[in-house]
Structure formats: C-alpha cells, structure tokens
Amino acid sequence: MSVKTRFAPSPTGYLHVGGARTALYSWLHAKANDGQFVLRIEDTDLERSTPEAVEAIMDGMRWLELDWNEGPYFQTKRFDRYKEVIAQLVEAGDAYPCFCSRERLDELRETQMANKQKPRYDGKCRHLSADEIDLSQDHVIRFKNPQEGEVTFKDVVKGEITISNQELDDLIIARTDGSPTYNFTVVVDDRDMGITQVVRGDDHINNTPRQINIFKALGAPVPEYGHVPMILGDDGKKLSKRHGAVSVMQYRDDGYLPQAVLNYLVRLGWSHGDQEVFSVSEMIELFDINSINKAPSAFNTQKLDWLNQQYIKSLPVEEVVKHLQWHLAQAGLSLDSGPDIAELIPEFAERVQTLKDLVEVIRPYYSDFESFEEKAAKKHLRPVAKEPLETVKQKLYDLAEWAPEAIHAAINETAEQLEVGMGKVGMPLRVAATGAGMSPSLDVTLKWIGKDKTLQRIDRALDFIRQREQSA
Ligand code: GLU
C-alpha cells in the first residue's frame, strides 16, 4: 500500500514549533516512501477556528517549504459526509441515539466520583426498543464501543499499547445539533483520505484506542500511529510562550533560515548517529519514523543559533539572499543602492547568527547610518584624528581607481607621511566610514562603500570631531 500521511492542525492560532515538527515528520515519512502528504484543517470547533489561523498555518508551512500533495481539506466542508457515516453506523447497530438529559449525566458522574469510579456513560440508551426511540426528541448519537476485550496497537514511537475496552465508554459522535465530534471526524477523514501513518503529539494518545474501535466498526484498515513526545522548555516544563518564540513565523521574523529551523526540528526528537547538520535531502534519505525518540526533548535556542550560522555560511548565497530580502524590506534597505551582496555575505557570515544581525552589519554599505557608535566615536573620533582623516581623505580623493590595493596604499602612505602607526589612521577612518569600530579589512570595506560616500563620511566625522571640540 502506498504511503500517505497528513498534518491535521486545528486552526486556532499560528503554526507552533510542536505542530511544525509533527508536520515535518509526517512530510518526511511521505517523501522518503514516495508517498503523499495531505493537509487537513480540523476546523469543526467553530468558536475557536479562524480564517486568519488557517492562513497563518499555511504561511508557516510554505515558509518551511513543507508542500502538500492534497488539500487543504476543511472538515467544515465535509459535514454531509460525516452525517452519512453516522447514519451508516446507526443502521449497522454500531451507534445509537441517546436521550439522557444533562441532569441525569451530571448525577451519574457525581455518584461515580463519590464511589471513586472513573466517570463514564453507563449505556442506558444502548438497548432502547424501537418504541422507546422518538427521534423528534433532543438526542445525541453515541458510538457503541465494544464492552469486552481490549484494543492493542503498536505505536511506532512508544511501542505496544493495550487498553481494556472497559476503560472506554460510548463516545458521543454527534451532538444534539447533529454536528460531529472530533474523534469521529478524524477517523472518517483518515479513512476516506487513505492515511497509512498518523504522526501526532502524544496529547492524543488517549484518543487512539477510541478511534481504532471506530475504524474497526467501519471495517476500515487501521493506520499505524506514532505519538511524538512533547517539546519542553529549558526549565523542563512544556514549551510555551513563556520560554520565548513558539510560532514558526516568529523564527522567520527573528532572522532564522527555514533550513536551520527544519534541521533543528528534525533533531528535536530524532537522531542519526551524532550527525547534527542535515540538508533536507539528507533528512528525506535518513529519517525513519521508527527511530523517533521516546523521551521528550528540550528546546535549545543556542543550538538553533549555531545551526542558523552554519546555514548562513554554507548555503548558496542566492538562497541566503532570497530569505534576507524580507529582512531588508523590514529595515527599509535595498541591495540596489550598494555593493554586490554576494561579496559581503562570506565576509560577515562568521560574525552573525541571524539574518537580522546580518542586516545590521551590512547596513552601512547600503544606507547612511544614523550616528556613530558611542564607544567607537569616543575612542577614535578625537581631535588627534583630524589630521590623519584630512590627509587620507585627500589621498583617497586623488585615487584614479577605487580598488582595495589602491585604497590600502593611500592609508599606508598617510601613516608613513604622518609618522604614525596604521591604526591611528585606520581606526578613525573605519569609524568614519561605517559608524562602528569593527568591520572587515578596511580596503574592502571602503571599496564596498564607494568613493563618494567614503569621502562624504570622512567629512561628516571631521564635523563631528569639531563639534565635540567646541562643546567641550
Ligand atoms: N487537530 C488535532 C490538533 O490540532 C490533531 C489531530 C490529529 O493529528 O489526529 O491537535
């Protein structure tokens, strides 16, 4: 049977890292087996589902390039189908109308709790005779869960799990208004869509035996299940907003590459020897749902930072630039107004961990900076720097060709002529040109900034020094 997996988010918020990880595992399993991957939006909770959340989830998936072969299917568009299957189950005697009032059920629950029993429906309406059934009265539909025996399944993550049917009561599959309930719609969909493997969070593990019983009643093949342990924060508690970003798109906004996020997520609960860096094609080749970790994993931002830097360093420049564009737009920068970015990225990759940091370090090459870094200015833009700056400015102005060798020579000659060390010329010049005390080698830096801008910025630094002198 060909492999078909799905990601089935409830659209009640953004795509969070836990969801993205189960989506990735399902996607990888499909890709690795030449299978299909389905996106299904579980939007039956009308109060909590929003169209914005649907868009946000799909944006996250698209950004991670987790493409789906089918869907998005929307459960709210499949109500007729669910009704049809409910009718089939009732017809076959596997489901029945239940007329028990809320009061009766509350009472039942209280008595059971008082007797230290697990609250469960007692099956009162299971055996109503035809003349006791009046479908014009308010009723729900319950699934007739087997009362004997047990449900056993082999979870690909957790191993064999067995639950006695006595633990499970007769689940409501349609509410009084006829709307279907979660555990039922999931089964109808997984069956209709031909899902072969279900990878999901282990918060769903208690639903699985109930779902399996419904599959069996429908005479449908039961998919394989893999319940993935939750993701913890650095304090060992379930990962939540308290720990920082949990939305995938927040990671985009914070300057992470989708390749790094995917690599990070795949390792968060799965490993292959001690390999840390996996390209997407390597993940597809090596990922195996049977080797997902049983134990919960803790989120570690430093490791994500490290991976992100690896990708900034190693991805083809065009790929980095593709993702950098969004950040440049946010910062109001355009690559058209400066040097070839392909030359800058290798120079700066070593110094930055995120694309946001990268934008900051390349900013002086594409736009004028607002002010000199205070510490650098205090140290290097002092009255003694006036003469070196004026001299080097003249020499730079005289250059026929704006190339690193010529720029280097101009700086050198200035130092020799004034009989000072290179640093006495270079540092004020660096702060003048970039606003900061750190940059790649000055000859390349100035080449990137361009001749006109360099000269203007030296003037600006000289003005700055004079103003400070006057106000001192
Ligand atoms: N819609 C469920 C959720 O978002 C997932 C159900 C499933 O994967 O079976 O938690």
Residue with tokens 């869960």, as numbered in its chain: 145
Q: How far is the CA of 276 from the centre of ligand 1 (A)?
A: 29
The pTM for the full model equals 0.92
Q: What is the DSSP letter of 158?
A: T
In contact, 225 and 156? CB cutoff 8 Å: yes
Measured from the CB, is residue 186 less than 6 Å from ligand 1?
A: yes
> Strand 140-143 to strand 150-155: parallel, antiparallel, or no bridges (unpaired)?
unpaired
Measured from the CB, is residue 223 less than 6 Å from ligand 1?
A: no
Closest-lying ligand 1 atom to the alpha carbon of residue 19: 4
Q: Does the residue 359 lie in any domain?
A: yes
The domain that holds 298 is classified in CATH as 1.10.1160.10
268 and 171, same structural domain? no
Q: Which of 304, 338, 367 is the last residue of a domain?
A: 367
The C-alpha atoms of residue 293 and residue 270 are separated, in whole angstroms, by 6
Measured from the CB, is residue 9 less than 6 Å from ligand 1?
A: yes
Residues 6+ apart with CB under 8 A from 128: 96, 97, 99
320 and 307, same structural domain? no
Q: What pLDDT sits at residue 244?
A: 80
The C-alpha atoms of residue 382 and residue 457 are separated, in whole angstroms, by 15
84 and 216, same structural domain? yes
Q: Does the residue 29 lie in any domain?
A: no
Total of domains in the chain: 4
Q: Does the residue 32 lie in any domain?
A: no
241 part of the active site: yes
Q: Does the residue 43 lie in any domain?
A: no
Measured from the CB, is residue 204 less than 6 Å from ligand 1?
A: yes
DSSP string, 285-326: HH--GGGB-SS-EE--HHHHHHHHHHHHHHS-HHHHHHHHHH
Q: What pLDDT sits at residue 245?
A: 79
Q: Which of 228, 253, 287 is the last residue of a domain?
A: 228
Q: How far is the CA of 8 from the centre of ligand 1 (A)?
A: 5
Q: Which residues pair with 232 in a beta bridge?
A: 238, 298
The domain that holds 423 is classified in CATH as 1.10.10.350
Burial (CB count within 10 angstroms: exposed 0-12, middle 13-18, buried 19+), residue 177: exposed
Q: Does the residue 2 lie in any domain?
A: no
Asked, as a colleague might, if the bond just before 72 is cis with ω within 30 of 0, I would say yes
103 and 183, same structural domain? yes
Torsion angles phi and psi, residue 20, rounded to 5: -65, -35
The C-alpha atoms of residue 407 and residue 398 are separated, in whole angstroms, by 10
Measured from the CB, is residue 6 less than 6 Å from ligand 1?
A: no
Closest-lying ligand 1 atom to the alpha carbon of residue 199: 8
110 and 152, same structural domain? yes
444 and 398, same structural domain? yes
The domain that holds 361 is classified in CATH as 1.10.8
Measured from the CB, is residue 189 less than 6 Å from ligand 1?
A: no
Measured from the CB, is residue 50 less than 6 Å from ligand 1?
A: no
Q: How far is the CA of 365 from the centre of ligand 1 (A)?
A: 47
The C-alpha atoms of residue 465 and residue 461 are separated, in whole angstroms, by 6
Q: What is the pLDDT along the chain (472 residues), one digit of tens a residue?
A: 799 999 999 999 999 999 999 999 999 999 999 999 999 999 999 899 999 999 999 999 999 999 999 999 999 999 999 999 999 999 999 999 999 999 999 999 999 999 999 999 999 999 999 999 999 999 999 999 999 999 999 999 999 999 999 999 999 999 999 999 999 999 999 999 999 999 999 999 999 999 999 999 999 999 999 999 999 998 889 898 888 878 999 999 999 999 999 999 999 999 999 999 999 999 999 999 999 999 999 999 999 999 999 999 999 999 999 999 999 999 999 999 899 999 999 999 999 999 999 999 999 999 999 999 999 999 999 999 999 999 999 999 999 999 999 999 999 999 999 999 999 999 999 999 999 999 999 999 999 999 999 999 999 999 999 999 998 7
Burial (CB count within 10 angstroms: exposed 0-12, middle 13-18, buried 19+), residue 165: middle
Measured from the CB, is residue 12 less than 6 Å from ligand 1?
A: no
Q: Does the residue 41 lie in any domain?
A: no
Q: Does the residue 37 lie in any domain?
A: no
Q: How far is the CA of 10 from the centre of ligand 1 (A)?
A: 6
Q: Does the residue 196 lie in any domain?
A: yes
Q: How far is the CA of 332 from the centre of ligand 1 (A)?
A: 39
436 and 409, same structural domain? yes
In contact, 68 and 61? CB cutoff 8 Å: yes
Q: How far is the CA of 59 from the centre of ligand 1 (A)?
A: 18
R_g of the chain, CA atoms, integer Å: 32
Q: What pLDDT sits at residue 377?
A: 97
Closest-lying ligand 1 atom to the alpha carbon of residue 22: 8
Q: What pLDDT sits at residue 240?
A: 87
The C-alpha atoms of residue 76 and residue 331 are separated, in whole angstroms, by 40
215 and 144, same structural domain? yes
167 and 88, same structural domain? yes
Selected catalytic residue, list 241, 313, 322, 375: 241
466 and 407, same structural domain? yes
Domain of residue 295 covers 241-314
**Total length of the chain:** 472
The C-alpha atoms of residue 210 and residue 208 are separated, in whole angstroms, by 5
188 and 146, same structural domain? yes
339 and 360, same structural domain? yes
Q: Which of 228, 255, 282 is the last residue of a domain?
A: 228
Q: Which residues pair with 16 in a beta bridge?
A: 247
